[in-house]
Amino acid sequence: MYSRYLFIERAQLALLDASVIFAAFPGAAWVRHGQTLFTPSPEGSIKLNAYLFPASLVALVFVLIFRYEGLYSMRFGRFAEAFRLIRGASLGTMVVLAFMFFYRGYSYSRATIVIFYPLALASLIAIRNLYRGYRRYVQQNPAARRRVLIVGFGNIGQHLGRSLLEQPSYYDLR
């Protein structure tokens, strides 16, 4: 049961990160191109459509990099997490720039990436801080806490007890 809640928490963070990155990529394109992003081209398609599929790929790349950076473990403080977010976002942006350099199907503006990087980074840090506040609120709510009794004093029981005491969680060890 404990692992299920950890999985749900990590999945929520990954979904939040992917949503922020997915929104930041077309958002940066809109800042760069303005209203012309929504006007139909001679072929009848809107230029925004060219940014939606790459935005999902960029979100996937960022989530994979953040997972590699250990950002879904919630074991870091705010500053350590922000530093890892900066490092992961920088690496992700470099990967996106490399893909844009070699992809010849559509000419993406590099200015869009210059706008995307600070927009995505600020949004990620803000949403992570909001999530921390939400998590703290839920953990302090007595109705949301679960009482836990560990039966057995073996290695597994000791490890579980230490991890429950060291990291704040939704469980109340009695």
Instruction: Give 89 or 138, the one with higher predicted confidence.
Output: 89
Residues recorded for the chain: 174
Percentage of the chain beyond pLDDT 90 is 26
What is the average pLDDT value for the chain, to the nearest integer? 81
Q: Is the pLDDT of residue 127 over 90?
A: yes
Question: Three-class SS string for 19-45?
Answer: HHHHHHHHHHHHHHHHHHHHCECCCCC
User: Which DSSP letter does residue 84 get?
Assistant: H
pLDDT in tens, 50-97: 778 888 888 999 999 999 988 888 778 888 888 999 999 999 999 888
Residues 163-167, mean pLDDT to the nearest whole number: 73
Instruction: Note every long-range contact of 23-26, with CB atoms under 8 Å and residues 24 or more positions apart, other chains counting.
Output: 23/55, 23/123, 24/116, 24/119, 24/120, 24/123, 25/51, 25/54, 25/55, 25/58, 25/59, 25/112, 25/116, 25/120, 26/51, 26/52, 26/55
Residues 79 and 12: their CA atoms lie apart, in Å, by 21
**Most confident range, picked from 113-117, 134-138, 139-143, 164-168:** 113-117
pTM of the model: 0.76
CA R_g for the chain: 20
Residues 6 or more apart in contact with residue 122 via CB below 8 angstroms: none
pLDDT range class, residue 156, cuts 50, 70, 90: confident
pLDDT range class, residue 34, cuts 50, 70, 90: confident
Residues 107-130, mean pLDDT to the nearest whole number: 88
Q: Is the pLDDT of residue 44 over 60?
A: no
Q: Is the pLDDT of residue 102 over 60?
A: yes
Q: Which tokens sit at 87?
A: 């490092």
Residues 74 and 49: their CA atoms lie apart, in Å, by 35
